[in-house]
Structure formats: C-alpha cells, structure tokens
Amino acid sequence: SLEKNTHILCLPAHSTHLLQPLDVSIFGLLQHYYRKAADIHMQDTQTGVKKGTFWTFYHETHTLTFLPKTIQSAFQATGIVPFNPNKVLFKVTKITTPNCPTAIFATPCNHHQLHQQALAATSFFPSSPISSHKSYLAVVLCLADLIECALTEVEIAKAEVQRLQEGYEGKQAVKADH
C-alpha cells in the first residue's frame, strides 16, 4: 500500500494462491460457469466441446464473471483494497520442520531411519521365488540408496549453510564494533 509506505519485496512461501485476486475469486467462478455451460451443451447435443463452442462458452462465462462487483470482492477478499493483511494472514499456515517421525513409513530424518524403513518395506514381500517380488525388492533397495545419497547431500548443504551463517554473523559483529 502506497499510503502506508509498504513495498512488496517478496510473497510469503506457499501463499501466492491466497494473495492473487483473480485466483481467489474470479477464475474459480469462471471455471464453474464454463463447466456448467459445457455440461449442458454435452447433454443437449451428445457431442464434446469444439473450438467454436469453446469461445462461445468462454465469452458467456467471461461476461458473467468479470463484473465490477466480483472484481472488487476479489481484491477485498485478498486484503489488497481496502488494505487488510489480516484477511490473508490467518489463512497462511506456518511451515515448520517436523520432528523425527516414529511411524514406520514416515519420512526418515537420518540414515539409520532410512535403513530401518527399507528393511521394513522389504519384509512385506513374500519369500516366494517370483521374479516380480525380486523386482520390487530391487526397486526398494535402489530407492533407499538414492535417498541415502540425497540425505548426505542435505547434511552437507546444512553444514555449509551453518558455516556461511556463522561467517556472516561474524562480519556483522565486526561492522557493529566500528
């Protein structure tokens, strides 16, 4: 909002669908009216939607949807006009890193949990010599190896980020002293 000297630098993660007025109100309504028109057409004619009928339906639904009051309510629903950030803030759930799971097939947090889950998954395969079961076993073990590599890369990246943060904090402390 210009009156409040607010400048948008970035949008909060996983919230853009809440902040875009056309997504919030208009496009859902447009889709509703279009589907309704297409359903009626298909019931009446027993044919699908062709290029010509698409544009006819789109024009009709566009006329029903893009009304000044609908557009104004979309901006109001997102808290843009009038400015009301609380319209959206209560809808945004805080993303948190889950604690290490205890359930057998929850996302593993470390190599040991991954290994335990891979072993548990292989125990569900019958011990009969059917090749498809061996194929499933091979896939599970291959996936476990790939995930282990990914976990290792994540651990390395976390260590690198921590090192960079510590270096940055050290530079900030030096600047503060001057």
Determine the straight-line distance between the first and last CA of the chain, rounded to whole angstroms.
36
pLDDT of amino acid 147: 81
Which residues of the chain are under the pLDDT cut of 70?
1-2, 8-14, 92-106, 124-135, 172-178
User: pLDDT value at position 17?
Assistant: 72
Query: How far, in whole angstroms, is CA 31 from its chain's centroid?
Result: 21
What burial class does residue 113 get, using C-beta atoms within 10 Å of its C-beta: 0-12 exposed, 13-18 middle, 19+ buried? middle
Q: Chain-centre distance of CA 98, in angstroms?
A: 17
This prediction has a pTM of 0.45
- For residue 152, what pLDDT is reported? 84
Where in the chain are the domains? Answer: 16-89, 111-177
The first and second tokens of residue 176, run together, are 């503060």
CA–CA separation, 73 vs 71, rounded Å?
5
